[in-house]
Structure 1
């Protein structure tokens, strides 16, 4: 029997491997990835300063350790050039050689790549993105070389705000830029976003909103950067970090005639339209839903591990609130489904607010908890929200 092959060594790939090994200790398992296959939790990257974690402390295990731990062959620094779905084969490239790898079942855990804006200026190539431990190491090394502590962050979404809070914790001067009029504009209703922004500003984070970056230019003999905004403002920075969002990696799937939309399309069994090929994690669009967060990955991995071991199991999405790592403005968000019309009701406290999103029938479909007092309601409210994908009996 050919091995089960996982493409990708991120949280999704390793979690599937770990869950599968609990159920099937001996079935041959192979992981293929283009990087060094170091295992780490990506959410750690955006609050490593606050956790006093240097890049080398974030890694949980290198490829050799993980291969032993999970009784699995790991092919690091290996590129998948082609998926031959009909013959159940992969065409790989490693060290300049072409290799054919057969599979019985294939798991695409290929993640998502940072969206990069086309920005003018001779400093635009120096803009950092942090989507891996390798990226993060380069970012921290560059930060350490800078004499001043001025950081400009492009993007006031979840990752941008988390990095801003983390850098502020280490006394960096942080300015966050976004085209939207408010931070976390896609996740929060306006009145909560305003309060969230005020809390972060009071902590010391600066915002330049409703504008975008036109160019990034090297100044002072390349020591600093001038960041020119569309509103005419110019900021001086030691380092620029882009955190404007992620785009699921769909190119490999498309080349194998696997259906894609925003992500790789799967049903609730995480099956693609090609036989014996599955998708999990940030690349997977399950039943039309794309959720690039930790809890959905865990739910997917547990269900898929059972399916791969012979017990066909649909993924179950209960209500899964997201805790935003911004201690200056503690925030928990459970977004309401995009296809549901909701009305917001807000209860205010001295240190924040609860905003509840109810549908026409009065059913709670989402909520936002800002501040420590509101945060205590997380479990109570989560139980009231219907499952996003119900459990199948």
Structure 2
């Protein structure tokens, strides 16, 4: 039997890799090192836990122990890896040196909390994982008013879910429209109208200057001078890949851990996968590219060198007040749009300067057109 494969991290990317490895090889020794309990859960479900009145337990598909038994792995829960030695092919864990044949970094990403003033900044909540949700769920469930910092994909999905659960929601974002890097303004406007209609407040083109404690909750002061009183604040201002271990090991890093199309880092026998990996200058924190990456990497780890290929991929936006799907380039790099709007929703096609289709957005009843249009799009990789 070969030396063990070590995986650092226990999120979707790590566990999808393990499931794929086990479909081919039942004998390969696999060790997983994770800072948490190692439960198997679906992270995107965090976007609609409040309207569904779900608890942390509702999201767990398998406990860490159950997953370890099912997939015959050694799970090292609540165990931090302190250093990686690429030359010796070893890691240091709690003072012990352990040797691997292959090492996979699936260390994920950390939620960004923008710089703000005030004595309530330490009360800002994040929901980038099961542990964070478990720590924050009671406070958010009891809140009647919530400030969501960030109007991107996750912030918008979360804000709509909180709105649907009966809370007063304020969204603050420096961009002039919601999901500004993904939606042209004429689509974002429809989304904004649906939120405003249900009572949400949009502080777009604005940022939080300070958060201060009060007897009634948290006082919010925006840079525009606008003030609000809320019960809690959630930051959904984006993610920053966890690359500290990679830097310690002197792996090449940029926005994430730089990998080639075999998911290999700049050091031999070390790979990166998921939210922490940067492929062709991009960190692709969506389920489909992570799933395809895991499938390709599993083959490579089992001595079948495989190059990652990514087709055009569909993004399903969880905004039930305006259901939509999209693929390709929809704002950045777009030269023109073709718009078809009717009572059943809209279909927006985006084109480059050569009049080639490079992306689309479909809403409501037009979502049935998505798969036929995807066949016309260029591959992502």
* TM exceeding 0.5: yes
* Cα distance per residue 1:211-254 (max 9 Å; x no partner): 1111111112xx41111111111111011111000011111111
5+ residue gaps, structure 1, are none
The structural deviation recorded for 1:190 is: 2.0
Is 2:233 the partner of 1:236? no
Is 2:169 the partner of 1:174? yes
Aligned partners of 1:17 and 1:70 also within 8 Å = yes
Tell me the equivalent position of 2:369. Answer: 377
Aligned partners of 1:28 and 1:72 also within 8 Å = yes
The structural deviation recorded for 1:200 is: 2.4
The structural deviation recorded for 1:204 is: 2.9
Structure 1 vs Structure 2 CA RMSD: 1.5
Distance in 1 between the 2:187 and 2:233 partners? Answer: 27
Is 2:246 the partner of 1:253? yes
Tell me the equivalent position of 2:78. Answer: 77
Distance in 2 between the 1:385 and 1:254 partners? Answer: 36
The structural deviation recorded for 1:333 is: 2.2
Tell me the equivalent position of 2:185. Answer: 190
Aligned partners of 1:162 and 1:324 also within 8 Å = yes
Distance in 1 between the 2:118 and 2:267 partners? Answer: 44
5+ residue gaps, structure 2, are none
Aligned partners of 1:200 and 1:329 also within 8 Å = no
Q: How does 1:155-174 map to 2 (within 5 A)?
A: 155-174=150-169
The structural deviation recorded for 1:145 is: 4.1
Tell me the equivalent position of 2:47. Answer: 46
Change (3 A) 1:337 1:23: farther
Q: How does 1:61-72 map to 2 (within 5 A)?
A: 61-72=62-73
Distance in 2 between the 1:275 and 1:193 partners? Answer: 45
Change (3 A) 1:183 1:337: closer
Q: TM-score, normalised by structure 1?
A: 0.93
Q: How does 1:216-295 map to 2 (within 5 A)?
A: 216-220=211-215, 223-295=216-288
The structural deviation recorded for 1:339 is: 7.9
Distance in 2 between the 1:353 and 1:145 partners? Answer: 37
Match of 1:130 among 115, 127, 130: 127
Give runs of ≥4 in structure 1 deviating > 4 Å: 337-341
Is 2:5 the partner of 1:4? yes
Aligned partners of 1:203 and 1:328 also within 8 Å = no
Is 2:149 the partner of 1:154? yes
The structural deviation recorded for 1:121 is: 1.1
Distance in 1 between the 2:158 and 2:380 partners? Answer: 29
Change (3 A) 1:337 1:375: closer
